[in-house]
Amino acid sequence: MLKTKARAPIGTTAKTGEVCPESGVWKVMGNPTTTAPIAEGNRMPPYSGRAVTWQLIQYA
């Protein structure tokens, strides 16, 4: 029987430079805002040239 990894819950946050904890669609918290698909294990990117906090809004 395969053991599956528990998913990070929707609403999880990660800051620019941190390792992405879950593949999915992430949204920048604050203004201006955007969404981006980011894969687990990648570094969370900056937005508009600045460090931001990203929030998981949808699983991949």
Q: What is the mean pLDDT of each run of 10 residues along the chain (60 residues)?
A: 83 98 97 96 97 97
In this predicted structure, what is the pLDDT of residue 58? 98
In this predicted structure, what is the pLDDT of residue 27? 98
In this predicted structure, what is the pLDDT of residue 5? 77
Please count the structural domains in the chain: 1
For residues 23 and 39, is the Cβ–Cβ distance under 8 A? yes
CA distances from 55 to 4, 23, 30, 33 (A): 23, 12, 10, 11
Residues with Cβ within 8 Å of 38's Cβ and at least 6 positions away in sequence, in order, are: 20, 23, 24, 25, 26, 44, 45, 54
Enclosing domain of residue 45 = 13-59
Residue 6 lies in a domain: no
In this predicted structure, what is the pLDDT of residue 1? 64
Residue 28 lies in a domain: yes
